[in-house]
Amino acid sequence: MTYPATATFKAFAEIIGCRPSYVTELRKSGRLVLTDDGRAVRVAESIARIEATRDPSRAGVAERHAAQRGAPLATGADDVPGGEGDVPPEVDTEGNPDYQLWKARRERAAALREEMRLAEEAREYLRRGDAAAIVAEAFVMLRAGLEAMPDNLAPVVAGESDEGRVRVLLAEEIESILGNCAAELRKLGQGEG
């Protein structure tokens, strides 16, 4: 069967044996090749694109609907003029979206989003901004503690003549500063922000 090079949307629906509403759905999903003005369908290219982007998991449904219509299922490539199962050379199948690839990517992204949401609810995940704020606060506390150490220890250490006691005082002050920093960083593990 030979088809015209272009057809109106209604005529294209008749060519492929479907309702005009399905052609509208195909147009909205980018599965039709339209003329430059967008008012007509390029028949051979559109049939090839529909075939290239067909969801194989729905083949049974398409066959059942074709049987109910009493018409053979339009498989696309065999029905294209000059076809014999080949896509015409002017049809660009390289730029056509791979339905299964994009469907798998979309489903994977949705699953990852759901996993992140669940991990966030379980406080196993902390958003980058919240984590950065906690780390920044911990380092601000560390810096402030280290800068205040000379002022805090100078009067105490100046009166000490025992070297061992000076070491203990320095170690206690350093331990206190690091403990405050560690307490702030523990918020990362608790999911606080």
Place of tokens 């492929």: 16
Per-residue pLDDT of the chain (193 residues; tens, 9 = 90+): 688 999 999 999 999 988 999 999 999 988 999 999 989 999 999 998 888 887 777 777 777 777 777 655 554 444 444 343 444 444 444 444 577 778 888 999 999 999 988 988 887 777 888 888 888 999 999 999 999 999 988 888 888 889 999 999 999 999 999 998 898 888 776 756 5
List helix spans (H) across 34-90.
Answer: 43-52, 59-69
